[in-house]
Amino acid sequence: MIDETTPPRVDSEVGPLRAVLLHRPGNELKRLTPRNNDQLLFDSIPWVDRAQEEHDAFAEVLRGRGVEVLLLADALRTALGDTRAHAAGVHAAVDERRLGPDLADSLRSHLSSVSPAVLAEVLMAGMTFEELPAAEGASLVRLMNHPNDFAVDPLPNLLFTRDSSAWIGNRVAVSSLTMPARVRETAVLDLIYAYHPWFRHAARAYGAHSAPIEGGDVMLLSPGVLAIGVGERTTAAGAESLARSVFADGIAHTVLAVPIQQTRATMHLDTVCTMVAADAVVMYPLSRDSLTAFTMRPTDDGSVKVEGPAPFLTAAAEAMGIDRLRVIDTGLDPVTAEREQWDDGNNTLALAPGVVVGYERNVETNARLAEAGIEVLAITGSELGSGRGGPRCMSCPIRRESI
């Protein structure tokens, strides 16, 4: 149990994992249709019951290895028990630009009287116009929207808790998410970190309302050394602001900004590379020689010095103070490599150095990891994967032991 004697702290990707924030997918996935799935960032329509079973099995693997699992929905309900959080939750749910003043007022007053559990459900699964409380008289906004249109958008990507917040040392960075379908996740995580008792003393590393940055792009290469992917989601401005913030707080001495391709397949740095041991990564073979990095370090006068670009592996090893950052040689043929990269083969979650969780379907990548001495705990993800995210994307480590 996390308490004041064992506060949240994460200073690597691979230190023994002790506590993690996960989101068991819920009714928000039932909102996905062939008409809205692209916009909601899913590649197909998941079978929700099966996705929940797969997720339960994922959580069980973690618990079986001594990891405490905090589920986001539970955390949100707990947080909303505080009246200030409840008021902030109502504010976050109601978008007056969409509803107009009358409907917004009536929805606000309705939500103000619901239980924390009901408000949490609205914040996660959204609300259609048909589900709005019944009203007297005609409202233009009600009349002109289809009953199945969203009055409050659902958040199906809450599943990917990696992106909406990230712990760096003893501080949490609540993300400013790029895609419109995910922007409101920030408000949900803000409520949890401000009002859940586990996080009462949590300090923030980065303002949620600064430039875009997503946790899938943030990698803790070693204590004090961060790599930040810059691409579809995290901008150069986001990487620079986060670097300034961690330098100012003294929680990092080097930050690498790593340009990644602006494509759906490589939306975050962790889609092409994750750490499997203190000095080893699994990496999409095509990225191996093409990834580069700019190195940022703080200067004495409080500004940031930028160098590079240099090859990523060289810059990373130098910043980490090691001879070489090993790449597990998956040696896959380009077609298999591309298929397994798409299915999050490189998106592993380390539970300890040399022990990772991966999707079972990435047979070739997992076999190469095993040959290299990495224990792979395989989980099924046929439905979970339809949102394009693997074990690392679906987990936000809250506490890891130091290595």
Ligand X SMILES: NC(=[NH2+])NCCC[C@H](N)C(=O)O
Active site members: 393
- Does residue 267 bind ligand X (CB under 6 A)? yes
Neighbours of 137 (CB within 10 A): 6
Residue 134 tokens read as 């019944």
Q: Does 268 bind ligand X (CB under 6 A)?
A: yes
Of the candidate residues 46, 387, 391, 397, the single one contacting ligand X (CB under 6 A): 387
Listed in order, strand segments (DSSP E) in 47-153 are: 68-71, 127-128, 150-152
**Applying CB under 6 A, which of residues 388, 396, 398, 400 lies at the interface with ligand X?**
388
Exposure of 16 in the CB half-sphere (CA atoms within 13 A) = 9
Establish if 67 lies at the interface with ligand X (CB under 6 A): no
Nearer to ligand X, 40 or 59 (CB): 40
CB of 315 to ligand X, least distance (A): 22
Nearest to 18 by CA among 61, 55, 69: 69
Rg (CA), the chain: 21
Q: Judged by CB under 6 A, does residue 41 bind ligand X? A: yes
Task: Give the C-alpha separation, 389 to 369, whole Å.
Answer: 19
- Residue showing tokens 């910043």: 319
- Tell me which stretch binds ligand X (CB under 6 A): 14-22, 63-71, 185-193, 264-272: 264-272
**How would you list the strands of the sheet with 355-359, edge to edge?**
349-352, 355-359, 375-379
Helix (H) or strand (E) holding 221: strand 218-222
Contacts 24+ apart (CB under 8 A), 32-39: 32/156, 39/180, 39/181
Which residues fall within 8 angstroms of residue 199, CB to CB, at 6 or more apart?
A: 8, 172, 192, 193
State the Cα–Cα distance between residues 383 and 27, nearest whole angstrom.
14
CB of 41 to ligand X, least distance (A): 4
Specify the residue, 195 or 284, whose C-beta has the smaller distance to ligand X. 284
**Structure-token match 């080097």, residue found:** 254
Q: Which is nearer to ligand X, 213 or 255 (CB)?
A: 213
Residues 149-178: x where in contact with ligand X by CB under 6 A, - otherwise, as a string? --------x--x-xx---------------
- What amino acid is encoded at 295 in this protein? T
At 353, list the tokens: 């150095």
Based on the shown chain and the rule CB under 6 A, indicate whether residue 8 belongs to the binding site for ligand X.
no
From residue 187 to residue 216, the character string flagging contacts with ligand X as x (rule: CB under 6 A) and all else as - is -----------------------------x
Distance, CA of 23 to CA of 19 (rounded, Å): 13
- Please say which residue, 41 or 350, places its beta carbon nearer to ligand X: 41
- By CB under 6 A, how many residues form the interface with ligand X? 16
Nearer to ligand X among residue 238 and residue 298 (C-beta): 238
Q: Which stretch binds ligand X (CB under 6 A): 60-68, 283-291, 333-341, 388-396?
A: 388-396
Which residue has the closest beta carbon to ligand X?
Answer: 216
Q: Which residues 210-249 are close enough to bind ligand X by CB under 6 A? A: 216
The residues of the shown chain that bind ligand X, judged by CB under 6 A, are: 41, 157, 160, 162-163, 179, 182, 216, 267-268, 270-271, 387-389, 393
